């Protein structure tokens, strides 16, 4: 489900906007999917918009 959603999102974004809207569309995808795959008590731990921080690889 997630792989198919992500692939479709990337393809649609490429065709419609040259991927300019990929970040926003990815956030919308997670806002729709997370409530159905994460227990309600843990949902607040997840950020559909992601984070700009990338940990350094050690």
Instruction: Specify the length of the chain in residues.
Output: 58
On the CB side of 23, how many CA atoms lie within 13 Å of its CA? 5
User: What's the pTM value of the predicted model, to 2 decimals?
Assistant: 0.79
Distance CA 34, CA 56 (A): 26
**41-58: per-residue pLDDT in tens?**
999 999 999 887 766 654
- Section 2-20 average pLDDT: 96
**15-42: per-residue pLDDT in tens?**
999 999 999 999 999 999 999 999 999 9
What per-residue confidence (pLDDT) applies to 3?
96
* 5 pLDDT above the threshold of 70: yes
């Amino acid at each position: 489900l997630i792989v198919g959603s992500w692939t479709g999102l990337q393809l649609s974004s490429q065709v419609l906007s040259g991927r300019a809207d990929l970040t926003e569309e990815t956030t919308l995808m997670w806002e729709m999917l997370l409530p159905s795959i994460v227990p309600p008590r843990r949902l607040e731990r997840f950020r559909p918009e992601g984070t700009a921080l990338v940990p350094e690889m050690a």
